[in-house]
Structure 1
Amino acid sequence: MKFLPESFETREAVGIHLRSKTILPCLPPRLSLLVFLRHSGCIFSREAIADLKEIFETCLSFPPILFFFRET
């Protein structure tokens, strides 16, 4: 079953920790939480990241989190 759009396989992505030119090969083979933020500097984004980090650290069954944001 496929849930991700085709652009994850075809559209080029640039990032500091990407191991490929597209996003799909960089994703873990299991369920993951992809979080797309408009940017990482606003209070909303910082609080969302902190909340997800806390949940991830306390809930052993929580999936890996991958954050995406546009660099400005």
Structure 2
Amino acid sequence: MEFLKNHIWQILIVLNYTVALSAVVTILLKKVNPTKALSYIIGLLALPFLGLIVYYLFGQEYRKNKIFSRKTF
């Protein structure tokens, strides 16, 4: 327990970069504009916590996916 108290920020940073790395892989596998993809990747890596929030709020296309999933014939 003492280890967690002393190293909480390091653990959070590692966890954040792990999630950011999985988001980077997701971005690279999607077919998006390269400029947009690169800007999201730089934002994820440069701004540790804020980059993830911005990507999940603005980078994901939830509405578009929801509309297309309803239009399946």
TM-score (norm 2): 0.30
Q: Which has the higher strand share?
A: 1
Tell me which of the two structures has the higher relative contact order, counting C-alpha pairs closer than 8 angstroms and 6 or more residues apart.
Answer: 1
Bigger Rg over Cα: 2
Q: Which has the higher helix share?
A: 2
TM-score (norm 1): 0.30
